[in-house]
Amino acid sequence: MATNMLKERYSGKINTVTLGATKEQGGTRTSTVTVGGDSTMPFLHFEGDMPLKPVIAMEIEDIKPDWHPFLKEVYADVMDNPVAWAKKCVEFGADLIYIKLNGAHPDNGNKSPEECAKVVKDVLAAVGVPLIVVGCGEEEKDNAVLPVVAEAAAGENLLIGLAKQDSYKSVAAAAMVHKHKVLAQSPLDINICKQLNILISELGLAPENVIIDPATAALGYGIEYTYSILERGRLGALQGDKMLSQPVICQIGHEAWRAKEANALEADFPNWGDQGERAILWEAMTAAGLLQGGAHIMVLRHPEAVRLVKKNAEQLMIKPEI
């Protein structure tokens, strides 16, 4: 008996969003990154399009962070120099650089908006890939810093954030004026995720200028919540919900390297095996899981995890012959 391939027909698709701008486009990037455009569930090439591959952003900070010892091992020589750090990440294969302006935090040196803008400009001058720029997380300070950064980097088509439900206006307005994209983060809540997109669009910024951050949980620490939200949002988008049709970014490195399994010594947990391998796989496996949920941009830290996730994504992009 013949077997019919069951194919779902969807009416909607994920928006296509480009980050970065080349010289011809008014920026200084040597490459741009375009994500989205999917008209099917992740990697189901047989029933729809997955035209663009998922990409990797590597995370850096403007001041030396207190990261995990295995990350310090890799970045020891560059962690106090964001320019050199960014360059090193590009060598490791980063499609984008994700820079967190932690130094702006009142408890971390309280850098001025102008100093923050200079760091961003310096990194822009040092590398050719597009940039993702986020504030320190202190709302009031970020509202002062991000508009200055947005202005200083006008034309570069940054992804800038975070926009959250209670504080989205100043970053969304700055992005609108200086033509950047907005990173909209919701706290593992699809209803707030959708509402935030509506609020941003009501300011006048088109939904095509937003990337969703659903908030990421690491493997073993609630990844299934992130996963199911990704899946539900994706289904909504494919059924025509314009306020959930934005591509998705997952901040994986930060969460994965906090997991106990990344931090426990082998001497204390001999059954868990080699710590280094385990920690790197914790990051890579978190990414691999969320890739299946439909992540478009994955923010990672360890170069070996980057290599593994890239390989995984490349294999998933191969269209099977059916």
Interacting residues with other proteins (CB under 8 A): 190-192, 194-195, 198, 232-233, 236, 240-244
Cα(200)–Cα(311) distance, integer angstroms: 35
- Least gap, CB of 241 to other proteins (angstroms): 6
Q: Which is nearer to other proteins, 135 or 236 (CB)?
A: 236
Spatial distance between the Cα atoms of 170 and 111, rounded to a whole number of angstroms: 19
Listed in sequence order, the residues at least 6 apart from 5 whose beta carbon sits closer than 8 Å to its beta carbon are: 46, 322
Strand 33-36 versus strand 16-19 pairing type: antiparallel
In the bound state with other proteins, the residue whose beta carbon lies nearer, of 64 and 232, is 232
Which sign does the torsion angle of CA 101, 102, 104, 105 carry?
positive
Which is nearer to other proteins, 9 or 319 (by Cβ)?
A: 9
Query: In this complex, which beta carbon is closest to other proteins, that of residue 4 or of residue 315?
Result: 4
DSSP state of 224: H
Smallest distance from other proteins to CB 200, Å: 12
Cβ neighbours for 109, distance < 8 A, ≥ 6 positions apart: 63, 103
Identity of the residue, 140 or 202, whose beta carbon is nearer to other proteins in the bound complex: 202
| HEC assignment per residue over 234-274 | HHHHHCCCHHHCCCEEEEHHHHHCCCHHHHCCCCCCHHHCC
The Cα–Cα gap between 194 and 242 comes to 9
Least Å from the CB of residue 172 to other proteins:
16
CB of 66: closest distance to other proteins in angstroms?
Answer: 38
Secondary structure letter of residue 44 according to DSSP:
-
Tell me whether residue 177 or residue 198 sits nearer to other proteins (CB atom).
198
Q: Which is nearer to other proteins, 5 or 265 (CB)?
A: 5
| Beta carbon nearer to other proteins, 144 or 235 | 235
Closest listed residue to residue 300, CA positions, set 156, 36, 290: 290
- The verdict on whether omega for the bond into residue 162 sits within 30 degrees of 0, i.e. cis, is yes
Q: Which is nearer to other proteins, 59 or 213 (CB)?
A: 213
Rounded to whole angstroms, how far apart are CA atoms 255 and 219? 9
Cα–Cα distance measured from residue 305 to residue 287, given in angstroms and rounded to the nearest whole number: 9
Closest alpha carbon to 161 in 152, 151, 174: 174
Distance CA 19, CA 56 (A): 13
Q: Which two tokens stand for residue 23?
A: 């010289």
CB of 294 to other proteins, least distance (A): 15
We find the least distance from the C-beta atom of residue 227 to other proteins, in angstroms, to be: 16
